[in-house]
Structure 1
Amino acid sequence: MASEYGYRLKVNEKVDVYSFGVLLLELTTGRVANDGGLEYCLAEWAWRQYQEYGLSIDLLDEDIRDPANIEDAFAVFTLGVICTGGQPSVRPSMKDVLYALLRFEHKSRERSLQHAVSEETSLLES
């Protein structure tokens, strides 16, 4: 739960951004947001791991550690960390989050196309 729920009477759309960030972290890490009881916060855990180890393969859910998807998974994990930042004013808008996800999709398609062209070129050369 976003920290501003505890100390502000009025919350805004940045709470939704925080919640979406938690969802992104759950998807990329394979962890549940409240998996460790009262003392566990997935957003804080992700931030600490990122600060201490950077983008490590160990952060990711084993089911998405395919080398072809690592770059995308790291990008989505990083976006989740950004969305769950402690200061609501620093979190991106949902529109910005959408644009970031669309850029990831576009880059992923470009990489897939480049890979397919490279494979076809290799076959033609043999």
Structure 2
Amino acid sequence: AIQREREIIGDPTLEKIYLESGVVLHLSGHHHAFYPGWKDGVAYVSQACLGGGPRRLIGDSARSPHSFTHVTFQPNGEFEIAVYRGPDFERSVNFKSLPKEIRSPNAVLKRLDLVK
């Protein structure tokens, strides 16, 4: 999200731990902007907010809608991400409405649906 560009994305120490440990999914909050990204075998999913303060995504002018993330894990280790937007939380967020990638000074995240 805007004003959160330097948080987590591109942290080489964290990425090394993830790769060595077999981490495949990182859920983060506090950014107040939903983005399902992927880098080097790890899905980085930034959560939107349910309260005040939704932020704009890097490279986008619109604020992230209020929403919550639903993760479904399959027995084979695969997972699916769905995001439901407010106010009724019955409509899902279309990933194609999000930027194809976001960049921080240290890394690029590709939108998750473009790599899976």
Same fold (TM over 0.5): no
Over alpha carbons, which structure has the higher Rg?
A: 1
TM category, shorter: under 0.3
Higher relative CO (Cα under 8 Å, sequence separation at least 6) belongs to: 1
Higher helix share: 1
Q: TM-score normalised to the size of structure 1?
A: 0.24
